[in-house]
Structure 1
């Protein structure tokens, strides 16, 4: 009768070879990791470490150039000093006051009669408000204020009876 508990030697040898190759690979990668860590440490030291260029403390003392100040004001301790402090309010409406004397040109932007129709109900639009923008126009040897007025329209019928009121502004 044969012994069935006998283990084959071939798979054990394969496993031992595989284990040895993996151990050598781990050793190689560990050595590579140490090399990279050292390179990183050296670059950090080079970037953030102390510099080899040291300054001489005597070099920072520039007493040679202070001769003019010393001779010009020999005794400043004896003179009294006064301190002045105040608060100032910002002036309002200064631009409007400056623009009063300039000639003014007004450009009005209105919708035509055909465009003054409500997009919801077809009713007539009325002037609701205006948007005014002023700009300063400088022409050589001539300065004037140009006022742009855009009319804004809405429908009275929709204001009273609808939940949504269309508002149209002239281009």
Structure 2
């Protein structure tokens, strides 16, 4: 561990190494609080990163999240940061047309939707987004791919993930946020 964190994911690793917390992040699931410890957050993010690698996601690729604030958002972001993959968050209130524009413009390959409504927006938009190959949900919805399905995939990718992490620089692009103040849509 470097003495001074230089990359965003170094901060969580530093917390794990120096002062791990029983409650690192929390969210309500079905009306009850679900907390992740620092160790569980790091472990889940790294498993997710390896699962994304098994899907063919590489440094520099873009992955989008359509969600309100919740623990899964943080875990996905940590997974992407560790891989050098660029996070493209999309406002839950954006229109299907805006989803299509952002997903196309950024050439997003994977989308994480918090719920059925956002899954449906992304699925509808995906008809005009050739780069988008996978959509996962945070809520458990019968018949739809759940994000935790990725946690058991790619576990043979540990060495490659360590290489990706070593190549990430503190100056690398981490996130692209589309706003109404940009020069084009949305």
Task: Bin the TM-score by the shorter chain.
Answer: under 0.3
Q: Which has the larger radius of gyration?
A: 1
Name the structure with the higher strand share: 1
- TM-score calculated relative to the size of structure 2: 0.18
